[in-house]
């Protein structure tokens, strides 16, 4: 069922937030409806984050209406809920290329607009950044507001509370808006979520509010005079009941909770807070997926939507096309193997930082709910928690995206590797991820991990390798990192082992070329599959490395000695990556050969399709083939 086009007369008038401020207040509800429908049309055309954006339509409108942006700084946490913010700040015409190569990012970017004062992508950074802006304004004597908009899911991270603590101590001129939709990507967990639930649902406060509204409505003009008194009594009752004590103990004045879809309440409350100074926190309750019934029912499923996903969701069940069968993803293969081990060994437990669905752990959660620990957006805690479990004989598995593991490298080194604890890391989304861009790319895990003692590193090339890596990791008495991309997983690429042992590399083809054209290509992880036809065309020897650590250098040195040059190909940072370690190790064993290292270049790769991102850094099939062919050509010329 295609989306019906709708006129957007009011939205068409807005090029910048100043145009929004020129509209009559009475027209804003209609504008919100137009914005919500424009958002649906936008995500239908390009795909993207939907449920979170549907939940902040009224809040986005109210913020740009009340505050003098960009003079006042709006800092959005994560940034995936800023599509409407972008529409209102001069980028609506550009949104047709959202998250595509050359188009606007799916998150805030300073290089895109002066209305994006701070870039985002990872969670829980907004309060720190906005506090920095507030303190800078104080130092420079500038009169401006700094506003951080942060979700309740992001508030589970320690950094958010570090910033709240500092802001309260400094009594900084900072407004924090807590967008409480009871969700991060997966459902929220923890004591903070329970505290916010009490704030939303305290029956005494609700009864007082409703009965007070009824009495004031019947009192006529006197009711208006008593309104401010009633608000004061309500806030006093909330304080007595301990509802706002968490934030007030941190030095913030707490306001709310208020309905985040009630425009009048939002506008009035924000206008009042604009005139105040010091640390303030406004608790706004919103509904993720608001305005689209399927998204309201399943906000997790509508967190990210593919192109044409809105119309498919709205179609009657009988009209929905069947999902074509295909090879499983790396995530699915890893999750299946993890469940296999959990069924046999009760010591196996899984840990995830608020990514049950994304990391493929829904099946594990259903089968072994008591052995799944969803810690919220708390990557540092997740890793050290795993360490504690390991000291007591458990076999913890941390399922985490590569980009989010970056937030916990001190814990990986200090708490896990230094103590040589048996913790397995299933590192998903390793390499380039496409439309989510540089904030979510897994570019650095290999370069970071190869320098850490005791840490084994598996880079499987197919499902057989992945299963074997997980088997080995869960039997190993030390830490192990198993990395794999966001992609389909080939079943088995073949080849035979170059040595004994599960961590030995495999030889996929041997070159029949003569000197000086004998080239050994060593592929790392998912790059191996695309190297097979390239090496056949160029008649190069191809090895699937399989394990970056422990590095089986002896059989590789023997093979390299039979060749004139060595090429390494990895979907990770070229500087400091596996290729650098391999060529150095070969040279140390007296096998010094001309080398070519292909990997992610020393820059951040912008968003686009996965293939566009790979091409941008020379890792698509055509670029790899051209680079190796040119390398062989140079060998022949220099002979």
152 is in an annotated binding site: yes
As beta bridge partners, residue 206 has none
Instruction: Report the run of H or E that residue 29 belongs to, with start and end.
Output: helix 28-46
Question: Measured between alpha carbons, how far is 64 from 74 in angstroms, rounded to an integer?
Answer: 9
19 is in an annotated binding site: no
Q: What percent helix, strand, coil does the chain show, rounded to 5?
A: 45, 15, 40
Among 92, 288, 371, 549, which one carries the catalytic annotation?
Answer: 288
- In 3D space, the residue among 353, 350, 457 whose CA is nearest the CA of residue 395 turns out to be 350
Among 379, 529, 581, 612, which one carries the catalytic annotation?
Answer: 379
Phi, psi of 425 (to 5 degrees): -110, 115
For residue 386, is it left (φ>0), alpha (ψ between -120 and 50) or beta? alpha
Catalytic site residue 288?
Answer: yes
Question: Measured between alpha carbons, how far is 539 from 513 in angstroms, rounded to an integer?
Answer: 6
- In 3D space, the residue among 95, 155, 152 whose CA is nearest the CA of residue 128 turns out to be 155
Q: At what angle do helices 263-274 and 28-46 cross, to 10 degrees?
A: 100
Among 407, 517, 546, 549, which one carries the catalytic annotation?
Answer: 407
Asked whether 469 and 506 are in contact (CB, 8 A), the reply is no
Burial group, residue 399, by CB count within 10 angstroms (0-12, 13-18, 19+) = buried
210 is in an annotated binding site: no
456 is in an annotated binding site: no
153 is in an annotated binding site: yes
- In 3D space, the residue among 524, 448, 449 whose CA is nearest the CA of residue 485 turns out to be 524
Angle at Cα 581 formed by Cα 576 and Cα 585, nearest 5°?
A: 155
Cβ neighbors of 9 (< 8 A, separation 6 or more) are: 34
Asked whether 58 and 263 are in contact (CB, 8 A), the reply is yes
> H helices within 219-350, ranges in order?
221-240, 245-248, 263-274, 293-297, 309-314, 330-344
573 is in an annotated binding site: no
Q: Distances in Å between the alpha carbon of 634 and those of 83, 332, 561, 586?
A: 49, 43, 19, 21
173 is in an annotated binding site: no
Phi, psi of 569 (to 5 degrees): -135, 120
Catalytic residue positions, numbered: 288, 379, 407
Q: Which residues are annotated as a binding site?
A: 80, 121-123, 152-154, 181, 379
**Residues of the binding site for thiamine diphosphate:** 80, 121-123, 153-154, 181, 379
Binding site feature residues for Mg(2+): 152, 181
């Amino acid at each position: 069922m295609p989306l019906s086009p709708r006129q957007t007369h009011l939205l068409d008038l807005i090029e910048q937030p100043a145009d929004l401020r020129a509209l009559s207040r009475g027209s804003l509800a209609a504008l919100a409806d137009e914005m919500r429908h424009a958002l649906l049309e936008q995500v239908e055309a390009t795909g993207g984050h939907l449920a979170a954006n549907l939940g902040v339509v009224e809040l986005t409108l109210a913020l740009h209406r009340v505050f003098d942006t960009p003079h006042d700084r709006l800092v959005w946490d994560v940034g995936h809920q800023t599509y409407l913010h972008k529409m209102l700040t001069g980028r609506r015409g550009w949104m047709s290329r959202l998250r595509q190569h050359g188009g606007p990012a799916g998150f805030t970017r300073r290089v895109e607009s002066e209305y994006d004062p701070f870039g985002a992508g990872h969670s829980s950074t907004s309060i720190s950044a906005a506090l920095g802006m507030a303190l800078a304004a104080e130092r420079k004597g500038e009169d401006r507001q700094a506003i951080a908009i942060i979700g309740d899911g992001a508030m589970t991270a320690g950094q958010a509370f570090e910033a709240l603590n500092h802001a309260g101590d400094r009594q900084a001129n900072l407004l924090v808006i807590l967008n409480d939709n009871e969700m991060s990507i997966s459902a929220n967990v923890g004591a903070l979520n329970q505290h916010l639930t009490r704030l939303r649902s305290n029956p005494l406060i609700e009864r007082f509010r409703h009965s007070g509204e009824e009495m004031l409505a019947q009192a006529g003009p006197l009711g208006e005079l008593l309104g401010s008194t009633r608000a004061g009594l309500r806030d006093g009752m909330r304080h007595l009941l301990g509802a706002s004590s968490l934030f007030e103990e941190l030095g913030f004045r707490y306001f709310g909770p208020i309905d985040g879809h009630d425009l009048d309440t939002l506008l009035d409350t924000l206008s009042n807070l604009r005139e105040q100074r010091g640390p303030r926190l406004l608790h706004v309750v919103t509904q993720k997926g608001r305005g689209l019934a399927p998204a309201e029912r399943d906000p997790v499923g509508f967190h990210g939507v593919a192109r044409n996903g809105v119309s498919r969701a709205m179609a009657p069940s009988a009209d929905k096309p069947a999902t074509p069968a295909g090879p499983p993803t790396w995530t699915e293969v890893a999750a299946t193997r993890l469940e296999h081990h959990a069924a046999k060994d009760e010591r196996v437990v899984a840990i995830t930082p608020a990514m049950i669905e994304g990391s493929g752990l829904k099946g594990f959660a259903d089968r072994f709910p008591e052995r799944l620990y969803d810690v919220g957006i708390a990557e540092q805690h997740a890793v050290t928690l795993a360490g504690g479990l390991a000291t007591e004989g458990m076999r913890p598995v941390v399922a985490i995206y590569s980009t989010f593991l970056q937030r916990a490298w001190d814990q990986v080194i200090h708490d896990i590797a230094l103590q040589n604890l048996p913790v397995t890391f299933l590192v998903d989304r390793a390499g380039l991820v496409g439309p989510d861009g540089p904030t979510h790319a897994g570019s650095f895990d290999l370069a970071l991990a190869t320098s850490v003692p005791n840490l084994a590193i598996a880079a499987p090339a197919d499902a057989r390798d992945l299963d074997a890596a997980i088997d080995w990791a869960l039997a190993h008495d030390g830490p192990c990192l198993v990395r794999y991309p966001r992609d389909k997983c080939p079943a088995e690429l073949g080849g035979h082992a170059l040595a004994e042992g599960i961590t030995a590399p495999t030889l996929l083809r041997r070159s029949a070329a003569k000197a000086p054209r004998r080239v050994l290509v060593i592929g790392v992880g998912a790059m191996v599959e695309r190297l097979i036809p390239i090496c056949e065309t160029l008649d190069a020897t191809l090895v699937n490395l399989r394990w970056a650590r422990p590095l089986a250098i002896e059989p590789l040195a023997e093979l390299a000695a039979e060749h004139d040059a060595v090429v390494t190909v990895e979907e990770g940072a070229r500087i400091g990556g596996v290729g650098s370690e391999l060529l150095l190790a070969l040279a140390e064993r007296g096998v010094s050969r001309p080398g070519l290292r292909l990997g992610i270049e020393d820059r951040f790769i912008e968003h686009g399709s996965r293939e566009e991102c790979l091409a941008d850094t020379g890792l698509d099939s055509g670029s790899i083939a051209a680079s190796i062919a040119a390398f062989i050509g140079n060998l022949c010329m220099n002979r």
